[in-house]
Amino acid sequence: MLYSKEGNKTKCFLCAHHCTIADGKRGVCRVRENKRGVLYSLVYGRVIAAHVDPIGKKPLFHYKPGSDSYSIATIGCNFRCSFCQNWDISQRSKEGDIVGAEMPPDRVVENALENRCESVSYTYTEPTIFFEYAHDTAKIAREHGLGNVFVSNGYMTPESVDAASKFVDADNVDLKSFSDRFYRERCGGSLEPVLETLRGLVKKGVWVEVTTLVIPKINDSGGELTQIAEFIKNELGDHVPWHISRFHPDYKLLDAKPTPLEAIHKAWRIGKDVGLKYVYPGNIPHEETENTNCFNCGEVLIERYGFNVIKKNIKDSKCPACGAKVDGKDL
């Protein structure tokens, strides 16, 4: 899907790299290969990870809260993040071999139903690079009443955003920084396509939540966090939840320290001061700020413990105390 032929070369416009791929070569993701002018997905139906996760682990707090999601991934990614926490599978395709167990779309849906999941999540690695597999699985999932979730770096194109909006119900997008230099030096991408993807998904009606991994001395300045919060409020909407996750050293970024708790609390306060209705700390269990409170009266609407919902206090998508609308999807 989403490519054109230029002689023996193919031009891929699935993601914002817009790779021009010569015959016999692969794109930046290393899992899409040009074979005599036809672009093939090498990971279709080849699952490297499959788990039943609480939807809050994605993290999605305002989409089917309290439910489980059958979560799958193939190898590969279109980013090269030095701090990737799933690097062992996201970067595995650089070795050239395509690994993974065979799991056709109908089997994914069967597994989801057998495990009483309410959705299928395309996650762990970047779902954009196994787009065709996600597309076909999602179609079957919807026929069986299941939702479909992306957990994405947002490095898409307007064409792939449009196509995804037809089968994706919710998407948690990483907004890793508000610095183009950060994206170029640490991820192998750029900032603007991610911002454009976020705008496009919201415009198309996909439920969006945003996650920022706060890395000490790299993207944790008050100025940058304020820029992110203001972008969410002004261009996406104050109803879009912002998850601020605590960093722990991994992959190539082993010399950085874990994010201090006070830095997460500072970011949370920035988000609230900017005017976001829903701001959540991540990778810090047992915090009261994990709960969803009514933005109008403060009533606890969803009580959480880690990724799990302990109690839900919402009636007809409204706060039972004051009647204010609770933002989200399938609450």
pLDDT in tens, 186-241: 999 999 999 999 999 999 999 999 999 999 999 999 999 999 999 999 999 999 99
Least confident of 93-97, 244-248, 280-284: 93-97
**How far is Cα 279 from Cα 14, in angstroms, rounded to an integer?**
31
- 93: pLDDT confidence band, cut at 50, 70 and 90? low
- 328: pLDDT confidence band, cut at 50, 70 and 90? very high
Rg (alpha carbons) of the chain, rounded to whole number: 19
**How far is Cα 316 from Cα 314, in angstroms, rounded to an integer?**
7
pLDDT for residue 284: 81
pLDDT for residue 250: 85
pLDDT for residue 102: 97
Side-chain half-sphere of 219: how many Cα atoms within 13 Å? 23
Q: And the tokens for 222?
A: 């008050």
Asked whether the beta carbons of 65 and 331 are under 8 A apart, the reply is yes
Return the residue matching tokens 């993207």: 219
Asked whether the beta carbons of 139 and 164 are under 8 A apart, the reply is no
Quick one: how far is CA 276 from the chain centroid?
A: 19
Position 81, amino acid: C
pLDDT at 108 over 90: yes
Angle (CA) 220 223 224, round 5°: 55
pLDDT at 43 over 70: yes
**How far is Cα 29 from Cα 300, in angstroms, rounded to an integer?**
43
Asked whether the beta carbons of 187 and 81 are under 8 A apart, the reply is yes
CATH code that applies to domain 3-284: 3.20.20.70
326 DSSP assignment: P
pLDDT digits (tens, 9 = 90+) for 4-23: 998 899 999 999 999 999 99
**How far is Cα 8 from Cα 28, in angstroms, rounded to an integer?**
18
* % of residues, the chain, pLDDT over 70: 98
Residue positions counted in the chain: 331
Domain assignments of the chain as residue spans, ordered by start:
3-284
**How far is Cα 8 from Cα 173, in angstroms, rounded to an integer?**
34
pLDDT digits (tens, 9 = 90+) for 130-166: 999 999 999 999 999 999 999 999 999 999 999 999 9
CA distance to 119, 257, 309, 324, 328, per residue, from 315 (Å): 22, 43, 16, 10, 13
